[in-house]
Amino acid sequence: MFVEYNPNPVGRRVEDCAIRAVAKALGIDWESSYAKLCLNGYTMGNLPNANEVISATLRENGFYRKNIPNTCPDCYTIGEFTDDNREGVFVLGTGNHVVTTIEGKLYDTFDSSDLVPIYVWYKDVEPRFRERS
């Protein structure tokens, strides 16, 4: 289920999906998420929305990363992942978008359930993946 989520302090809809996803996953505000990602990006010599910076920030907070199985690379959507994982906190990356799902709800500024994830970060509950034929 899609839940509109935009913690941007002035309500802007900008290219801040990494900041939003990390904020939601860690239960912090947008500004704190922005600061964490920028600090890691600065120390790593990279941009705050780079995959390695997002990974480092989530790892520092107890998350693990796993690739989505490549059994059906273009058909397993974020919506299907969310349906398959109704317990836990997950951050999904598509390569150019990042989104958080919590307890089977997809939090984003738009309904990104049709996008195809390639990796997932998780903390307390290991993700399950739908078997494809």
How do residues 44-81 score in pLDDT, each as one tens digit?
999 999 999 999 999 999 999 999 887 666 678 999 99
Residue 14's pLDDT is: 87
Distance CA 31, CA 13 (A): 15
Q: Judge whether 66 lies within some domain.
A: yes
16 within a domain of the structure (yes/no): yes
Assigned domain for 91 exists = yes
Helix and strand numbers, DSSP H then E, in the chain: 4, 6
Domain total for the chain?
1
Is 14 contained in some domain? yes
Residue 132 lies inside a defined structural domain of this protein: no
Flag whether pLDDT at 132 surpasses 70. no
Domain of residue 113: give its range: 2-122
Tell me, yes or no, whether 111 lies in a domain.
Answer: yes
Global model pTM greater than 0.85: yes
What's the pLDDT at 74? Answer: 67
Q: Which two tokens stand for residue 13?
A: 């809809």
Q: Is residue 128 part of a domain?
A: no
pLDDT given at position 10: 93
| Mean pLDDT rounded to a whole number for the chain | 93
Question: Is 90 domain-assigned?
Answer: yes
